[in-house]
Chain A
């Protein structure tokens, strides 16, 4: 009984943290599923969202979550431009070219962050970031609850968008069959640019909630990219529900790994789980 009580906090924390991981991974999964690009710069673009929240908070004095009203359209525009002017041209040469360009983008972003914000760790320390929430034996930081709420909102929004709008249906059609999408009058270059733009708007959300939850440095993007790849592998490509479940599985593996084997081993446990899933069900939990 006491074990169960003790376990309740890491379990709840793992699930809530999983929501954040799902939001971080969703943009990566979307671009991977639709454009078939592995966007190696995704983690760094999420961190761009974190720094945007940081600037909004420290320079403009706006609450980071509120600042998303500007941050999301801003990153949406940057994403549209990246796909339209860089990646759309690159993948006509070969898929490897997009990989190399994304890698270059990642290096440029990391170095730019160092120049502008120094290598020091930053965080979005708002008054509510330090609050915690208790229910019976469970104690969790309030931001973890916000992370999860944001995740549910974002997932529902994207799911409805893909289901109900012309652009959303065109994105799904282009993901399933590019040539036929052309024949349906879909400008796939434009659809890809919108897909990347949406992925970046999601990165803005992910970045702000990441900054509220953890501290970040100019090179944090890489570790979150690896987490996002793990989540996508767990959940399976092209499924929003899968990404959500994958995020939660990853979060749980991390917090329970920390509980049983110590904090130093928590990420190791999560990655071992990813490897095991890859070996047993290579398509992921919800993969097709």
Chain B
């Protein structure tokens, strides 16, 4: 049933040189879901995202997107297929204007024809980006840069958006606002996979979550169920 699963990562091993970063990792995302990946620093979360985006390739196992094997594809082809990653640390292009950053997001051929339409969607979601469109990206505040990074990721017209550590370094009030926007993005038909160190937040905002430790998925399931797991309570909520 290819319609049922949007992204299917099956039993992947990933190496950085001789260091094995992921061990037999499998995850699945259905269309319209919000899925969180939770774990401490160095648990392999970012490596998993980079493997889905094609920046690194799995040594074993495979990744299917809309039923197509993408494990050996280069990053730009994966963006073309409809997977967009908002990298950790925002990584906006500092010496490009806000508008140029957004336009670069629609670089792939499929997104170019929808560039104007997606730009208007971004301006609706983030009015501040329209106000500051001719400013250089490096002059924005941290929160505005995160909005720009998210808006830029949406410009590639993705069906799945992957977000790495969105709330890192943001004030709590801003974090809440960003998650409100995520829900709006999902309402517009875009599936969301995010990585987050803030466990409490992840387990309320996502539908399902995968918990990673030392390169392995150790727990997964519905967030309501995970919140009740003794192991999760102990490790993350201190109760």
Instruction: State the CA gap A169–B115 with chains docked (Å).
Output: 15
Q: Which residues of B contact A176 (CB under 8 A)?
A: 93-96
Contact between B93 and A177, CB atoms less than 8 A apart: yes
Q: Which residues of A contact B53 (CB under 8 A)?
A: 182-183
CB distance from B88 to the nearest CB of A (A): 11
Contact stretch, chosen from A3-11, A184-192, A268-276:
A184-192
Contact between B108 and A185, CB atoms less than 8 A apart: yes
Q: Which residues of B contact A184 (CB under 8 A)?
A: 79, 104-105, 107, 152, 156
CB distance from A91 to the nearest CB of B (A): 16
Contact between A185 and B76, CB atoms less than 8 A apart: yes
**Which of A170, A172, A179, A182 has the most B CB atoms < 10 Å from its CB?**
A182
- Chain A residues with a Cβ under 8 A of chain B: 166, 169-170, 172-173, 176-177, 179-180, 182-187, 288
CB distance from B19 to the nearest CB of A (A): 19
CB distance from B196 to the nearest CB of A (A): 18
- Chain B residues with a Cβ under 8 A of chain A: 53-55, 74-76, 79-80, 84-85, 87, 91, 93-96, 100, 103-105, 107-108, 111-112, 152, 156
Q: Which 4 A-B pairs have the closest CB atoms?
A: A185-B79, A185-B108, A182-B75, A180-B91
Instruction: State the CA gap A179–B93 with chains docked (Å).
Output: 11
Contact between A183 and B96, CB atoms less than 8 A apart: no
A182-B93 contact, Cβ under 8 Å, with A166-B112, A170-B104, A187-B76: no
A173-B108 contact, Cβ under 8 Å, with A179-B87, A183-B79: no
Contact between A183 and B108, CB atoms less than 8 A apart: no
Contact between B107 and A186, CB atoms less than 8 A apart: yes
**Which of A169, A177, A183, A288 has the most B CB atoms < 10 Å from its CB?**
A183
Q: Which residues of A contact B94 (CB under 8 A)?
A: 176
Residue contacts A-B, CB under 8 angstroms, 25 given: A172-B93, A172-B96, A173-B96, A173-B104, A176-B93, A176-B94, A176-B95, A177-B91, A179-B87, A180-B87, A180-B91, A182-B54, A182-B55, A183-B75, A183-B79, A183-B85, A183-B91, A184-B79, A184-B107, A184-B152, A185-B79, A185-B107, A185-B156, A186-B76, A186-B107
CB distance from A74 to the nearest CB of B (A): 28
A169-B79 contact, Cβ under 8 Å, with A183-B53, A184-B156, A185-B107: no
Instruction: State the CA gap A173–B55 with chains docked (Å).
Output: 17
Q: Which residues of A contact B152 (CB under 8 A)?
A: 184
Closest to B85 in A: A183
Q: Which residues of A contact B79 (CB under 8 A)?
A: 183-185
CB distance from B56 to the nearest CB of A (A): 11
Q: Which residues of B contact A169 (CB under 8 A)?
A: 96, 100, 103-104, 107
Closest to B101 in A: A173
Contact between A187 and B74, CB atoms less than 8 A apart: yes
